[in-house]
Each structure stands twice: as C-alpha cells, then as structure tokens.
Chains A and B, each alone.
Chain A
Amino acid sequence: ETGVTQTPRHLVMGMTNKKSLKCEQHLGHNAMYWYKQSAKKPLELMFVYSLEERVENNSVPSRFSPECPNSSHLFLHLHTLQPEDSALYLCASSQDWTSTDTQYFGPGTRLTVL
C-alpha cells in the first residue's frame, strides 16, 4: 500500500444525489491532489491543496467541491453530477506541491453516475 487511502472504493449515484469522496494520507505530506481518470484520456488534475489551502483549481465545474480540513484529509463533495462525470477519482499526496516530489496515489474511487 502507498499510504494513501480512499473511501468508498465504488460509488453509484443518481444525478440528484449528494455524496462525498474521502482521502486520507499517512505519509506526513503537505500537498494533496484530486485527479479524474476517464477511459482513453490522460489523468486530469482537478484540485491541489498545500497545507490545507487550495492552490490550484483547474476549471472544474462547481458541482465538484473540495474540502481539506487538515493536511492528512481531503474530501470531494459531489452534487447534481452528470453521467459524463463517471470516472475513477484518484487522490494523491506529495511532500510539497511546488517541487517535483513524487506523488503517491490512492487506489481511487470508481464513480458511476446514472
């Protein structure tokens, strides 16, 4: 295991539901990331947090709302999603976000939007 855990591992939700994805890192890192991985597409960086402050938001629709209550935990709150949001959502962490530190990934949450 990489030291980054994600729950739930699988999630099926309707377009009107509200759900949250959780990520926890046990590595003492300062930076945490949310990525979206869709079939036949490169990993897309969604959000970056450094020391609980959001430092990057890559034009992600407002139906995705991140939260970082402390440097070990990261959430992604989901509401009124669309079927095209179905994907694998990966959390990652690294020592710092401004350097080229290795990013360690969690196993991901497989999200299906009906």
Chain B
Amino acid sequence: QKEVEQDPGPLSVPEGAIVSLNCTYSNSAFQYFMWYRQYSRKGPELLMYTYSSGNKEDGRFTAQVDKSSKYISLFIRDSQPSDSATYLCATQGGSEKLVFGKGTKLTVNP
C-alpha cells in the first residue's frame, strides 16, 4: 500500500468555483501535513502546513486533517486562473522522512 494516495486528476473548474483536493495516507505516525503548490516549470512551494487534526485557514485556502480516517483536504474558495497549478500533499511524522502524493493538476478556466 502506498504511503500517500492522491488522485492525479487533471481537475478543471470554472473561475469562482470551490475546489476540493484530497489525499489519504496509511502511516498513523504521520503528524505533520503540508500542501505544496507547483507551477509549471517551477519547483514546489509550501502553501499550507498543519499539525495533527483540525482546520487551518489562510485567505481563500483551507487545509483540513482528519487523523481518524487518515484523510487530508485542501479547499480553495473563489478559485482564480492564477490558482492553476499542481497541488501536492505531503506528510511527515517523528523520524519519518517527508512523503509526497503524486500531485493533482488543477486548471481554473476564466
């Protein structure tokens, strides 16, 4: 079983839509959860960082972690064309190295 599962998409939505991106993970030792955003021809950049379960909000972005179901989500409200990128979830815990999902390619159409 892969450590982090993420649907690679692609996902295409109209401007202004609410976007939901999701990952599941298998290792219950993971405690730190991140979302990275990667624009075309660029490296990943950290977008959101969450410790343990709960929600974290930053502007139009909300990260949600449910450790009981090993499910992590990223919601984007009022999506913009500039949000078009690949979104990678990542997790880490204790002495474990950072583990990434495959990434979901998102396109927001004007």
Is A56 in contact with chain B by the CB < 8 A criterion?
yes
Given the interface pairs A40-B102, A42-B101, the reply to whether A100 lies near B43 with Cβ below 8 Å is no
> Given the complex of chains A and B, what is the CA–CA distance between A108 and B42 in angstroms?
7
Count the A-B residue pairs with Cβ separation under 8 angstroms: how many? 43
We find that the number of chain B residues with CB closer than 8 angstroms to chain A is: 22
The A interface is mostly helix, strand or loop, or mixed, namely loop
**A78-104, CB under 8 A of B: which get 1 and which 0?**
000000000000101000001010111
Task: Assess the A2–B102 pair: CB atoms within 8 A.
Answer: no
Q: Which residue of A lies closest to B95 (CB)?
A: A98
A2 partner residues in chain B, CB cutoff 8 A? 43, 45
Which of B8, B41, B92, B101 interacts with A107 by CB under 8 Å? B41
Task: Assess the B102–A105 pair: CB atoms within 8 A.
Answer: no
Task: Assess the A90–B102 pair: CB atoms within 8 A.
Answer: no
> Given the complex of chains A and B, what is the CA–CA distance between A56 and B98 in angstroms?
12
Q: Considering the complex, which residues of chain B in the window 30-50 have a beta carbon less than 8 Å from any beta carbon of chain A?
A: 32, 41-46, 49
Task: Assess the A105–B49 pair: CB atoms within 8 A.
Answer: no
